Amino acid sequence: MAKRNLEPPVRPWGWWALGAGLVSFGVGWVLGWPELAVPGAAVITVFAIGTVSSLGNPKFEVELTAGHRRVPVGSDPEVKIRARNVGRRRSPAQRLTLPVAERQVPVRLPALAPGESVAADVSVPTGRRAMLPVGPTKAVRGDPFGMVGRTWSWGNTLEVVVYPPTVTVPVSWPGMAKDIEGKPTGQPSEADVSFHALREYVHGDDIRSIHWRSTARLGHLMVRQSEDTRRVQMVLLVSTAPEEYARRRDFELAVSVYASLGLAQAQASGDLAVLAGGSTLPIAKAGPGPVLDHAAASQLGPPGAANHSLASAAGRSRREAPRATLAILVTGTKLPVSAVRRAAWFLPREASALALRCEQGAELTVSKIGRLGLGTIGSLDELPRALRRLGLQ
């Protein structure tokens, strides 16, 4: 059922308009001046019609549904409104509004018989990444000038996640070797826990690897050949300091880079932590949903805020992701290379490290500074090539 806004039905300026109308009508009537009486009567009439229109209780049930709660930038998702008349009388045509972030999208409903329902589709704007609150559906009954009005709301509130553009990144990260929870790497190993194949015994093989059942069946010694497995704990450090980016669109590129990397790690069921802007998406096998939500909500911090810098994220990484095996730093080109190197000093000790500096339109460059791989990318499409040249694929 509808929920009524508890604000007074008469707006403050409505009282002023009514008072002016009464004075104008009274003075014009007494003095016989129609120039005052007619406008005053018009204001009083509009006020009375608005008051009558605001009476009653609209009897509707309204439900909001979305085909996809997470959509990429530039898509054209739709939210479906289904309204049903639950009253005993035929409802007149209604003009509703659906709040979509800061916009008010008009929705027109036809007259409905008792028990009759109707559905309408509303397009959601996805020109930029955001967490878009949609709903609840509202209706305002009153006069067209806003002197008198009651607000009614129905239904639920949805949140549509508009996430940034991403690219597919083949996963081949460095990890902790010989881990029972790791993923097969395709590399043969003599002492891991992932069984791969059998081969003939050669001098020097560990006799504990002999597969006695196959040896008895084939008549010569056979040994187990295992496959190397590695578990990856990735930590993504994303700068949200405006001083480290030349332009706003460079930060948007950085968000797309980290979303692509985090999505690849999440889809591979790997452990992931994202440290950005003082917040942390903790190490967890939570799937791609939280990564996309985090990327959609990421924003630049206020100028000069220390906790939004790359150095701040790096300082937190050793405490919040101490067992990380791979650390990727994402920032802009206004941060000097020397500052990127200093930030890398605070990373977890066992983690392989690389940094990606983002600037729209920049030429792809890759270099190695000590143990830190450093790349500059000018478009999202260059990310897979940069990772290959940095030795991660």
Q: Residue 214 CB: number of other CB atoms within 10 A? A: 14
pLDDT at 286: 56
Residue 7: pLDDT over 70:
no
Q: Average the pLDDT over 325-349 and give the result.
A: 92
Query: Vertex 94, ends 93 and 99: CA angle to 5°?
Result: 155
Residue 60 parent element (H or E):
strand 60-66
Q: How far apart are CA 290 and CA 262, in angstroms?
A: 10
| Weakest mean pLDDT among 49-53, 71-75, 344-348, 381-385 | 49-53
pLDDT band at residue 212 under the 50/70/90 scheme:
confident
CB 201 within 8 A of CB 220: yes
292-301 pLDDT tens trace: 998 999 999 9
Q: Any idea where the domains of the chain sit in the sequence? A: 6-53, 60-163, 184-230, 232-389
Q: How far apart are CA 298 and CA 130, in angstroms?
A: 9
Residue 180: pLDDT over 60:
no
pLDDT band at residue 189 under the 50/70/90 scheme:
very low
Q: Average the pLDDT over 311-334 and give the result.
A: 91
Q: What is the mean pLDDT of the chain?
A: 82
Residue 119: pLDDT over 60:
yes
Residue 53: pLDDT over 80:
no
- The most confident of the ranges 36-40, 221-225, 267-271 is 36-40
CB 253 within 8 A of CB 379: yes
Residue 248: pLDDT over 90:
yes
CB 374 within 8 A of CB 357: yes
pLDDT at 226: 57
Q: Average the pLDDT over 38-60 and give the result.
A: 80
pLDDT at 198: 82
In the CATH scheme, what is the code of domain 232-389? 3.40.50
Residue 173: pLDDT over 80:
no
pLDDT over 70, % of the chain: 86
| CATH fold match for the domains 60-163 and 232-389 | no
In the CATH scheme, what is the code of domain 60-163? 2.60.40.10
